[in-house]
Structure 1
Amino acid sequence: MSEKQQKPKVPVVVSLISGGIAGGVEASLTYPFEFAKTRAQLRHEPGVPSPRNPFAVVLKTYQNEGLRALYKGCGALVVGSIAKDAVRFMSFDAIKNSFKDHETGALTPARNMLAGMSAGVVASIFAVTPTERVKTALIDDARGAKRYHSAGHAVRLILREDGPVGLYRGFAGTTLKQASATSFRMGSYNIIKDFQEARGIPQNTVANFVNGSIAGVITTLFTQPFDTVKTRSQASTVTTTAEAVKSILKDGGIAGFWRGTIMRLGRTVFSGGILFTTAEAVSKILTPMVGTVEDIQA
């Protein structure tokens, strides 16, 4: 790769802000699908039918519990998504830059995937696990005991009853999911993007959205079992990762690990497109501004 073809490094602050904004927008617009998927993955009462069609779950919830029920736990997810994607984009770009060939600036597909995996672990530790725990507990609680009045109230009760470790229930499953999901999502998106750029295919809004959607589909199909384990272990009733795995096998066998796949696909097709399109758009706006500030300071 010639020097002309080398990509400029994305400033850390740009990755942080663009990732955070993209995460908040994506989570807000696609939350009903996340709600439906989480409901499908939680324990079900024997003999009570549970629809797997995401639109059926959304419609049934709306009819029985009202519109507000579809956004139960949304605040926690939006806050978590802002933090998660800010950390994820920032750490991915930082790790990716360190993995690049110093002479050519090239990044192999394997290193793209490894950078994504590393970024997923960082995001899980600092943002994802606590916010996913609160979101899942709120959704689970809303269909039964209704002990939690808000995300803040849920956090206080969890801390009071289970201590700080309560916010990290499902950490193993969440980290496995985040490491694999970020590896496939960020890695595959960048691999597709690099492939297109090498062949002169312009990167515009449509290309960003399509590439993000493809990355979302790939991510969902390969990481759904981790997501199901994570959801079970973060329910309102305290459950360890091992207990979550046993309960999934008991309820649905091996196929039970892919419960909620259709619902998650319904979300990730759009979320992947929204996430990367928004991040790329914000990055294009901020990069020249940051560059100007750095030039002035220099």
Structure 2
Amino acid sequence: MGKDLEDRLEIRNKSKRNTIRRNFSTCFSVNLVITRTSFPVSDPLLLSAFLGCRSILEKEGPKSLFRGLGPNLVGVAPSRAVYFACYSKAKEQFNGIFVPNSNTVHIFSAGSAAFVTNSLMNPIWMVKTRMQLERKVRGSKQMNTLQCARYVYQTEGIRGFYRGLTASYAGISETIICFAIYENLKKYLKEAPLASSTNGTEKNSTNFFGLMAAAALSKGCASCVAYPHEVIRTRLREEGTKYKSFVQTARLVFREEGYLAFYRGLFAQLIRQIPNTAIVLSTYELIVYLLEDHAQ
């Protein structure tokens, strides 16, 4: 009973601290989300991340770079809390079924956590994407989060909030790849000769920055491999488009625009996601370390 309570408190503390950090970083990365989201849509106006950012500033004003910040702040806290709580619990369960801390455990844990999180949070991300895709003339009034949600409900019903969910499920592969690489790199760093030869503060500092590098590398690899699902998901969430399903959208994009269309906005995605993930995972590991050290 005591152990179960301790585990629950540990998961809750991990979620709470990571949520605060995540909300803070969201405010600074949302403009990159706007730039990245502008690429996958069917209107090919932007040529690069920097040209895209400049185009948005000139045509829609600086406030447009922060479209979707509201639902981002609302969604990021429960999203990360749910994900890391599910990941920790799933890892605990799968360690009892498969070889403890094996690749199989990491894959099933990451996949399960991503499935639950995507299913619960898709309505919020749908509203965020719809707001980011809304193009207005500079100085004109834009819909806020509640107005956008009400508009989606009135025009498309409840099902409208789940547009792109199949693409999000396809994106679970990105999470699986990321965590599989990260857990292996973490294991390598733990067993590396440099880690065993250092002591105290120097060792903790080396481990922390090593984990940041491992997280950055794993996220970069995963994003490059699985990025096409981001393009398909954004197309599905456009209002009044010809895109109806995951497979139909993939075929249509490939036939009309070629395979390079599946990688539009990848650069903006990488410069947003890599540092973000590096901070999230290294902070998560630091919190776990501090909690375990405090428990001892």
Say if 1:228 and 1:257, in contact at 8 Å, map to a contact too: yes
> Residue 286 of structure 1: CA displacement?
5.5
Aligned-partner Cα distance in 1 for 2:160–2:132: 16
Matched, 1:113 2:116: no
The one-letter code sitting in structure 2 at the alignment partner of 1:114 is F
The TM-score normalised by the length of structure 2 is: 0.82
Counterpart residue number, 1:261: 266
Say if 1:224 and 1:261, in contact at 8 Å, map to a contact too: yes
The aligned length equals 277
Point out where structure 1 has 5 or more consecutive residues left out of the alignment. 1-7, 293-298
Point out where structure 2 has 5 or more consecutive residues left out of the alignment. 1-5, 196-202
What percent identity do the matched residue pairs reach? Answer: 17
Aligned-partner Cα distance in 2 for 1:197–1:246: 44
Counterpart residue number, 2:199: none
Say if 2:94 and 2:108, in contact at 8 Å, map to a contact too: no
Counterpart residue number, 1:164: 158
Matched, 1:63 2:58: yes
Matched, 1:272 2:277: yes
> Residue 16 of structure 1: CA displacement?
2.5
Deviations 1:229-283 (A, max 9, x none): 1111112336422453344224422221122212211212211112223333444
Matched, 1:50 2:46: yes
Say if 2:227 and 2:263, in contact at 8 Å, map to a contact too: yes
- Judged with a 3 Å threshold, the aligned counterparts in structure 2 of structure 1 residues 25 and 286 are, in CA distance, closer, same or farther, namely farther
Match of 1:206 among 200, 204, 209: 209
- Judged with a 3 Å threshold, the aligned counterparts in structure 2 of structure 1 residues 278 and 60 are, in CA distance, closer, same or farther, namely farther
Counterpart residue number, 1:216: 219
Say if 1:25 and 1:275, in contact at 8 Å, map to a contact too: no
Aligned-partner Cα distance in 2 for 1:240–1:80: 25
> Residue 81 of structure 1: CA displacement?
2.1
- Judged with a 3 Å threshold, the aligned counterparts in structure 2 of structure 1 residues 237 and 282 are, in CA distance, closer, same or farther, namely farther
Counterpart residue number, 2:244: 240
Matched, 1:24 2:23: yes
Counterpart residue number, 1:155: 149
Matched, 1:132 2:125: yes
Say if 1:24 and 1:78, in contact at 8 Å, map to a contact too: yes
Secondary structure of residue in 2 paired with 1:142 = coil
Say if 2:174 and 2:226, in contact at 8 Å, map to a contact too: yes
- Judged with a 3 Å threshold, the aligned counterparts in structure 2 of structure 1 residues 156 and 140 are, in CA distance, closer, same or farther, namely same
The one-letter code sitting in structure 2 at the alignment partner of 1:165 is R
> Residue 121 of structure 1: CA displacement?
0.5
- What RMSD over aligned residues (CA atoms) do the two structures have, in Å? 2.9
